[in-house]
Amino acid sequence: MTDTTTTSSPASTVPAGAVMLRRLALTGVLLCLVVIILGAWVRLTDAGLGCPDWPGCYGHVTPAGAEKNEGKIESYSPGWEYDSGKAWREMIHRYAATVLGFIIVLIAAIAIAYRRERPMSPVYAVVLLATVVFQGILGAFTVWWLVKPTVVVLHLAGGLTTLSLLFWLWLKMRRTTQLVRPAAGATRIAVLDGARRAAIVATIVVGMQTLLGGWTSTNYAAVACPDLPTCQGEWWPDKMDFSEAFVLWRGLDINYTGGVLEHPARVAIHFTHRLGAIVATLAVLFAAWLAIRNAPTALVRNAGYWAAGALGLQLLIAFAMILKAFPLWLATAHNAGAALLIMALLVLNRRLREA
């Protein structure tokens, strides 16, 4: 018979700093998710250079200001074709990212101000702040270097890192009213350690697969394989150019809007993304299975189900996207699904760690 020990949360008042941080963290998570989706929308509609300068738009705070002075548009960027819709999409993304930056500045300020209460580690707050600052710098270079794929993928990585840090902070600061701890044992500890390692590996694999998806999108390779489950009617396409598919840098004077790669290179990128999806699927299913099978609490079991469910949703979106010929809304949803899958895996990691 297994003994259990139940511990309840203390009845003492939660520090004011912790309450503010928890609310700001949740607000930051939701806004960061919106920013990631907006970033995908901007990229997929070729609006990344809707404003060829940064942080403004043709020297103005809004595209409306630029439209009132058409002469300045031409003088600011000679020969550049102005598109009001693209400019507004780009600036809406920047406005949302700016608000997110302010929220993270507040989180860092509160963490430092309440450092004696230690509602969160000041070091963690500084890392979060440094991440969003670096993310802003990458956003600038995305424009200045004409949407270079490597910079775009790094920008995506920064967004996902920011989301992960904010979500992990919120998970950590949630109040747990009751926690049931099964009796420890060598077998139980070994099993849980295996589940934890599997969850970490799955999170890393999904993160890398998401970045590979960003590389596929920014190189305009999504439509290179319009059929399913084959690619170009073949299980292993003959015409794939891997030597050109993953060249990280091609110089500063190349505008990547519309892509510069030949079709065989794009097929190689897309096909690699599909192979990565298989690996990621197996990694997530294995981690979820271990968690569900050996869950010491319902929280861990539910986290395993959530991870498997998020994976299923992402695969469903991917299949529908190909079968429906890559409509914009599904392509954008595919980016959102990747972020949600990473969040589900973070919940799984957190629950296994608490167990």
User: Of the residues 70, 74, 81, 90, which is catalytic?
Assistant: 90
| Residue type at 55 in one-letter notation | P
Q: Distance of CA 278 to CAs 272, 315, 339, Å?
A: 10, 10, 18
Cα separation, 246 vs 239, in Å, equals: 15
For residues 2 and 183, is the Cβ–Cβ distance under 8 A?
A: yes
Query: 3-state DSSP call for residue 180?
Result: strand
The SS3 call for residue 58 is coil
The separation between CA 240 and the C-alpha centre of its own chain, rounded to angstroms, equals 28
Structure tokens at 206: 């999904």
Query: DSSP secondary-structure letter at 13?
Result: P
User: Could you write out the DSSP letters of every residue in 71-135?
Assistant: HHHHHHSTTPPP-HHHHHHHHHHHHHHHHHHHHHHHHHHHHHHTTTT-SS-HHHHHHHHHHHHHH
Contact 54, 139 (CB under 8 A): yes
Hey, what are 282's tokens?
A: 């197996």
Name residue, tokens 């309450």. 19
Residue 90 a catalytic site member: yes
* 3 and 181 Cβ atoms separated by less than 8 Å: no
Q: Pick from 175, 173, 176: which is nearest to 120 by CA?
A: 173
CB of 303 within 8 A of CB of 351? yes
CA dist 25 and 110 (Å) reads 12
The H or E element containing residue 337 is helix 328-354
The separation between CA 47 and the C-alpha centre of its own chain, rounded to angstroms, equals 19
Q: Are strands 4-8 and 178-182 parallel, antiparallel or unpaired?
A: antiparallel
Distance from C-alpha of 76 to C-alpha of 109, rounded to nearest angstrom = 37
Residues designated as active site: 90
